[in-house]
Amino acid sequence: MLNRKEKILLIGGGGHCHSVIDVIELEDKYTIAGIIDKKELIGRDVLGYKVIGCDDDLKELFQEYKYAVVTIGHISSNAVKVKLFDILKGIGYGLPVIISPLAYVSKHASIDEGTIVMHQAMINSNTKIGQNCIVNSKALIEHDCTIEDNCHISTAAVINGGVKVKEGTFFGSNATSKEGIEVDGFIKAGALKK
């Protein structure tokens, strides 16, 4: 019997979407059905996939597609990302965890729905990652960490053992945390959190 891959909608067609497309294609668990973006961008091509609708079409599209993932980044604010996640949940979409096959995730770690783990990220044992997070390329999250919902752990960030990252935190590229601390808010690129 043929193993048919489920179709998935990508919500947001910008730069982060480009990276997520690459991960989904490599992971090979879902077929990308199309992109949801602003109404005026319908018909536009994003790395070979069409923008097939806008936010207003999500309820109708649910008749045909049951899976979606938010592919909007989080830099100055994650408000739009959180709002879209909540809309998708409310409609009933499945929001799978997307993990690059080039990442390492310990079998003793847990990751909640709608979270994306990018290429060469490393998530070590007894770490818990909430929903709707981005763990970006080459990020390292050490053992016994908790990353709450709606966080963005940026490229090449290092979160050492036993750290708690509070909901909605942006942890910048190449930022590093001391072990066993609590981190909250906007952590700029290259910062050292003690």
> For residue 75, what are the domain limits?
6-91
Condensed to tens digits (0 to 9), the pLDDT of residues 138-164 reads: 999 999 999 999 999 999 999 999 999
Which residue type occupies 3? N
User: CA-to-CA distance for 177 and 20, rounded, in angstroms?
Assistant: 26
Closest by CA to 149, choosing from 179, 124, 114, is 114
Condensed to tens digits (0 to 9), the pLDDT of residues 16-25 reads: 999 999 999 9
* 194 part of a folded domain: no
pLDDT at 111 over 70: yes
The contacts of residue 192 (CB under 8 Å, 6+ apart) are: 175, 176, 178
- What SS3 state is found at 117? strand
* Element at 182 (helix H, strand E): strand 182-183
Residue 60, domain CATH: 3.40.50.20
Single out the residue in 91, 112, 136 at which a domain terminates: 91
